[in-house]
Amino acid sequence: MPAPEASPRVHVIGAGIIGACCAWWLRREGFDVTLIEKDLPGDGASLGNAGNIGLASVPPLNMPGMVRKVPSMLLDPMHAFTVRWRYLPKAIPWFIRFAMNTRPASVEAISDARAALLSHAGDAFDTLLGEIGHTEMITPTGLIQAFESENGIAKSQYALNLRRNRGVRVEEMTGDQLRELEPALSDNIKGGVWYPDVRLCINPQRMTKLIAEAFVAAGGKLVAATVKG
């Protein structure tokens, strides 16, 4: 991957999985790339990532009806959604755009865009890991979405159809069928969905470091620094 003198220069900020992959592909295409990371590659968010290669993650977070659920989310101390009230005035414009995009037409358009991106994700990882010699880092495990309520699948049909209509394989199963796939599932699970095409990265931190190392070996520059402006 020689970089001629006239190669366009690119700086990639952050050597998490996204930055490392971007740097690798840009270097692969002949760019003169500098990857900047204040810590070590993969030691930030990628270290704690679940490693799900979400090929079925077509529906957006802001689904129809979600705005009505915000008060109960805020009152639930165990919910992931929280607001720093002093920051709320600055956040309001973002919340308004978020709410506007819960309309069905927006959700369909967002799902189209996500599906278009995700349709390439599996092949892109296969190509990258094949070129650096570490295809073992991703394995085809599939993904279970389990429900403790009898009507869990019925209530999820809108999101499931967003996936089905965009080519994602969706298999509805009973609780017993899911337990055949994963015996550790509780007897409280009444049913759920199996996404057979979803893959798992066995170690996101390790994979990120391997990609960064391959990037450097291919002539890329990794710089330990903090970007302030």
d(CA 22, CA 24): 5
d(CA 15, CA 107): 31
Q: Is residue 177 classed as helix, strand or coil in its secondary structure?
A: helix
Say if CB 164 and CB 111 are below 8 A apart.
no
Residue 1 has pLDDT above 70, yes or no: no
- pLDDT tens per residue across span 186-210: 999 999 999 999 999 999 999 999 9
Rounded distance between C-alpha atoms, residue 159 and residue 155, angstroms: 9
Tens of pLDDT, residue by residue over 53-81, are 999 999 999 999 988 988 898 889 888 88
User: How far apart are alpha carbons 163 and 54 in whole angstroms?
Assistant: 12
Cβ–Cβ < 8 Å for 169, 197: yes
Q: How far is the C-alpha of 3 from the C-alpha of 28, rounded, in Å? A: 9
The rounded percent of the chain whose pLDDT value lies above 90 is: 83
Torsional class of 54: left (φ above 0), alpha (ψ -120 to 50), beta (otherwise): beta
- Token look-up 């009230």 returns 85
Answer whether 194's CB lies under 8 Å from 141's CB.
no
Report the predicted TM-score, pTM, of the whole model to 2 decimal places: 0.83
> Are 187 and 174 within 8 A, CB to CB?
no
Nearest to 219 by CA among 7, 3, 40: 3
Q: Which amino acid is at 139?
A: T
Helices (H), 101-167: 104-132, 152-155, 157-164
- pLDDT confidence band for 6 (50 / 70 / 90): low
